[in-house]
Amino acid sequence: MPEPSPPSPIDRLTDAIDSLGTPACVGLDPSPDRFPADIPTSEPAGAIETFCARVIEGVAGVVPAVKPQSAHFERWGPRGLEALWRTIQRATDAGLFVVLDAKRGDIGSTADHYAAAAINAGADSITANPYLGPSGLEPFLKAPLLTYALVRTSNPDSDAVQAIATDNGESVAERVARLVHETGASHRGTRGLANLGAVVGATKSAADGARLRERMPDTPFLVPGVGAQGGTAEDVRPLVRTNARTPGEAGILVNASRSVLYPETGTVADAAKRFADSLRVLVSAE
């Protein structure tokens, strides 16, 4: 008899989105200079842990996932990394799916170590850079982690590499999209989506987004750039899978960080609820 497959992280995420009816993800990008006055920041690593603990308490049960951004923790050194690990544990205990936004990328044997680090930290998923080719992605898939490869990022100058036109008329991002689709085809969950996902920014044009979805029909997308970075829920529409039967099968996880962490009015929980609600229309069955 064949070995039973390891549990698939994309299935866990799909179920979590289904159960809350929204594909909202809250980015944990803790910046001590923006913390509320009652969190002392003299010891930054402790402060970011406290801040993240509060955010987790506010968003658990409201959104299915959080995305800790590794650099915001790493900059405080070993104590910062400890804060990251504890934050991941706390989020997991609160029932949240955890995407470690680390954008790692290296050749096979080294990628093995990055994958082990993410698993040891307790993450369900990681962001990764595809520039080194599929062998840099495979170790994350095998870990197993839901692996979101950078395809089209939301920063203003991402065109410098990602929009270079290739010999067949497609952009570099579109060629990378094909690679992600092909590599992911042998790493699927039980509901049709692959364990290899794609980071596709929300602030690029609708046509751009539609071309990427066409090339990656069964790829889960992580969509940053909504909220403070300028994207709106409507910008995400071209990225939604067609014929999805449930919110999770729509194949998107949409991230907001600053607009939820540092809301202009109300609490973090209020901001998370507004964000979560704003996305329901995108994924409700028609």
Q: Supply the residues annotated as catalytic.
A: 103
At its nearest, how many Å lie between a second copy and the CB of residue 8? 23
Contact by Cβ (8 Å): 54, 28: no
For residues 62, 117, 152, 26, the Cα torsion angle rounded to the nearest 10 degrees is 20
- 123: contact with a second copy by CB under 8 A: no
Single out the residue of 57, 75, 89, 266 in contact with a second copy (rule: CB under 8 A): 75
The b-or-e profile of 152-191 (16+ CB within 10 A means b, else e) is bbbeeebeeebeeeeeeeebbbbbbbebbbebbeebbbeb
- Which residues ranging from 140 to 179 are in contact with a second copy (CB under 8 A)? 150, 153-162, 164-167, 169, 172, 175-176, 179
| Contacting residue, 37, 78, 242, 265, with a second copy by CB under 8 A | 78
Total Cβ atoms within 10 A of residue 127: 26
Phi first, then psi: what are they for 242, rounded to 5°? -85, 160
- Of residues 161 and 206, the one with the C-beta less far from a second copy: 161
Cα–Cα distance for residue pair 147/187, rounded to 1 Å: 10
Residue 201 and residue 192: Cα distance in Å, rounded?
A: 23
46 is a contact residue toward a second copy (CB under 8 A): no
Q: Contact between 71 and a second copy (CB under 8 A)?
A: yes
The answer to whether 131 contacts a second copy (rule: CB under 8 A) is: yes
CA distance linking residue 25 with residue 280, whole number of Å: 13
Letter for the amino acid at 101?
A: D
Q: Which of 23, 63, 68, 85 binds a second copy (CB under 8 A)?
A: 85
Helix axes 44-59, 77-93, angle to 10 degrees: 20
Footprint (CB under 8 A) of a second copy, residues 223-282:
none
For the CB of residue 46, give the shortest distance to a second copy in the complex, in Å: 13
Q: Which of 32, 134, 192, 263 touches a second copy by CB under 8 A?
A: 134
User: Any residues with CB less than 8 A from the CB of 127 and at least 6 apart, and which?
Assistant: 99, 100, 101, 102, 103, 104, 147, 148, 149, 150, 199, 222
Residues 6 or more apart in contact with residue 185 via CB below 8 angstroms: 194, 218
Among 20, 21, 46, 79, binds a second copy (CB under 8 A): 79
For a second copy, the closer CB: 17 or 145: 145
State both tokens at 124: 């369900």
In the bound complex, what is the minimum distance in angstroms from residue 44's beta carbon to a second copy? 11
Question: In the complex with a second copy, which residue's Cβ is closer, 6 or 78?
Answer: 78
Beta bridge mates, 99: 125
- Which residue among 132, 237, 262, 277 contacts a second copy (CB under 8 A)? 132
Indicate which single residue of 13, 66, 98, 117 sits in contact with a second copy (rule: CB under 8 A): 117
Question: Taking contact as CB under 8 A, which single stretch among the options 35-43, 90-98, 113-121, 206-214 is the one that binds a second copy?
Answer: 113-121
Residue 114 interacts with a second copy (CB under 8 A): yes or no = yes
Residues that bind a second copy (CB under 8 A): 29, 69, 71-72, 74-79, 81-82, 85, 103-108, 110-111, 113-114, 116-117, 120-121, 129-136, 150, 153-162, 164-167, 169, 172, 175-176, 179
